[in-house]
Amino acid sequence: MQEDFTDASRYRLIRKLAVGGMGSVYEAVLYGAEGFQKTVAIKTIKERFTDDREFVELFIGEAKLVADLVHQNIVQIYQLGKMEKLYFIAMEYIQGVTLQEFMNKHMELGKRVPLELGIFAISRVCRGLEYAHNKRDNTGNLLGVVHRDVSPKNLMISSEGEVKLTDFGIAKARNLMKDQEGSVLMGKAQYMSPEQAQYMTTDKRSDIFSLGIVMMELLTGVNVFADDETTTVLQNVVYKEIPKPSHL
CA triple 36-62-39, angle to 5 deg: 20
Question: Do residues 59 and 53 touch, judged by C-beta distance below 8 A?
Answer: no
Distances (CA, A) of 172 to 32, 105, 133, 214: 33, 32, 11, 20
Residues labelled catalytic: 149
- At position 36, the amino acid (one-letter code) is F
Exposed, middle or buried: residue 117 (CB in 10 Å: 0-12, 13-18, 19+)? Answer: middle
- Give the torsion sign (CA, 212, 191, 44, 18): positive
**Across-strand partners of 158?**
96
- At position 216, the amino acid (one-letter code) is M
**H or E element, residue 116:** helix 115-133
